[in-house]
Amino acid sequence: MHHASVPDITVIIAVYNAMPYLNECLDSALGQSLGVERLEIIAVDDGSTDGSGAELDRYAARHPQVRVLHQPNSGGPGAPRNRALDLARGRYVFVLDADDHLGPEALERLLDMAETQGSDVVLAKQVGLGRPVSDKAHRHAEDADLHTSEVYRSLHSAKLMRRRIIEEGRLRYPQDLWYGEDQVFVTEVYLAAGKISVVGDYDCYYLRRREDGQNITARPRTAAETVAHIERVMALVAERVQDPVGRRRMLGRHFRSLLRTALRPAVEARHENPGFTAEVYERARALVQTYWRPEMGGELPTVDWIRLYAFACGPLPAFEQLMEYDPALEPAPREIVDDGRVYRCYPLFRDPAAGLPDVLFDVTDKLKTHHRLASLTWQGSRVRLTGHAYVQSLGTDRMESELVLRARETGEEHLVPALARPAPELTEQNPELMMAGFLAELDLATLAGGEPIPPGTWDCFLNVRADGVTRTVRLGRRHAPELDRTARRAKVVARDPGGATELSAAAFFTAYGNLSFEVVRRIPLPTA
């Protein structure tokens, strides 16, 4: 609901030497489709010396919705943002960096999501201008769980946030941090939020890497400044998050950050600035000892998991060698299969001097199983299924597969071998996938040891084996476009000797698109 006396959104802009980008930033805020009368814009000039302050005053003179404050330079964005938060009147706040800008409909779409869904935080899809952004974090979602979705990948301040939860929690940016301060603040807002949503179907926020190199994150940092925000936010998560999945995933995100934004510059500086490197190493090692748990390994890319283990447990030269390895610049590491497990041969695999355990290089559970159901046909009580399936990185010349029917209520399983067959739809792209096709025929009248399949709901899976590696996939969601997924016609598969009842089965696709069979015993229907 629109309240005339209370702005819907307060846009907060901390400004320090933001020319020439400041004009585009302000114009994008003032030109929002939401309507400028529903906004207030509070811009805090943090001691700029490039004319940004005077430019802000010119905008304020022309636009009554713009309020400008000037203050001596505080050394970071936390203090000016906090000053604006103290003065904000909007029901929601949105923090806009002075060198970034908004898409024309951004605030209207964000507000509509918040009002429709009752969201306390709404993430705005970002577009990187010379810098990377997280696509995973900004997948469109009306309800994004903090612990199981990918929203925690995004700790940048550019989000619509309900001001009430900020004020009730007395949340403010830490002013003793100029680097990573938004990670602490946004984490606190996430933890206070009752519901989080994502506007991922519109380019809301344009995030810039400045051509003049004056982004605040480009300033040189001491060892303490490099690690302090990670220390702060890890302590916050460890104290406040009791959910084991959420704790694991959120801390795992910060261990990725520790490797990339703290340990990497420390490794690069080890010859020119050994004191800096030693202090970063010491503080990082304390974080690993305090917060790391083995189950967090799955939250890191494989090579980062190896690096972190080498840092914590291996010889330091091994860790530094792994940090210098750049997978993007090197040929893809080969993979080997040993005793039913697949190992990716990153540097130092089975190097006796490094002593890194094989399990660090084990990618078996991360290999994707590609599959598609092509056809489903009936002949009496027999069902014939065709399609293709293969395990990433493994050939198909020795591949085997079998269909699995699993009772949803009891877990009882029945296995039906599938025949390998050519997959011409794949061979053009990769000749090694020549025999990735499968054909499985199951007779529901004799499936249970010569007896008919019992009544119940039976979910359909496919076991795929290659080179001693077995992966199980749910069958049906990936399917040929021409496959009829709407028909649910029951087929009689068996009758009682006296004819009093009959067993019927119907193939259907679940709400998630997966194939299942519903088997029921019924009184025979009259024939036409």
CB atoms inside a 10 Å sphere around CB 45 = 25
Q: How confident is the model at residue 264 (pLDDT cuts 50, 70, 90)?
A: very high
Does 213 have pLDDT greater than 60? no
Q: How far apart are the first and last CA of the chain?
A: 60
What CATH number has the domain spanning 9-208? 3.90.550.10
Does 502 have pLDDT greater than 80? yes
If you average pLDDT over every residue of the chain, what do you get? 92
Global pTM reads 0.81
In the chain, list all ranges with CATH 2.60.40.10. 369-522
Which H/E stretch holds residue 507?
A: strand 502-509
From residue 233, give the alpha-carbon distance in Å to each of 189, 190, 211, 515. Answer: 12, 12, 30, 44
Fold of the CATH domain 369-522:
Immunoglobulin-like (2.60.40)
Q: How confident is the model at residue 1 (pLDDT cuts 50, 70, 90)?
A: very low
Per-residue burial over 489-521, b = 16 or more CB atoms within 10 Å of its CB, e = otherwise: ebbbbbeeeeeeebbbbebbbeeeebbbbbbee
Does 284 have pLDDT greater than 80? yes
In the chain, list all ranges with CATH 3.90.550.10. 9-208
Mind listing the pLDDT tens digit for each residue in 358-371?
A: 999 999 888 889 99
Tell me how far apart the alpha carbons of residues 258 and 230 are, in angstroms, rounded to a whole number: 7
Mind listing the pLDDT tens digit for each residue in 381-431?
A: 999 999 999 988 786 666 789 999 999 999 999 999 999 988 888 877 788
Strands of the sheet with 92-95, listed across from one edge = 66-71, 39-46, 9-15, 92-95, 159-162, 121-124, 196-199
What pLDDT, on a 0 to 100 scale, did the predictor assign at position 152? Answer: 96
Does 2 have pLDDT greater than 50? no
More confident residue, 498 or 89: 89
Mind listing the pLDDT tens digit for each residue in 67-109?
A: 999 999 999 999 999 999 999 999 999 999 999 999 999 999 9
Tokens representing 383?
């069902």
Does 216 have pLDDT greater than 90? no
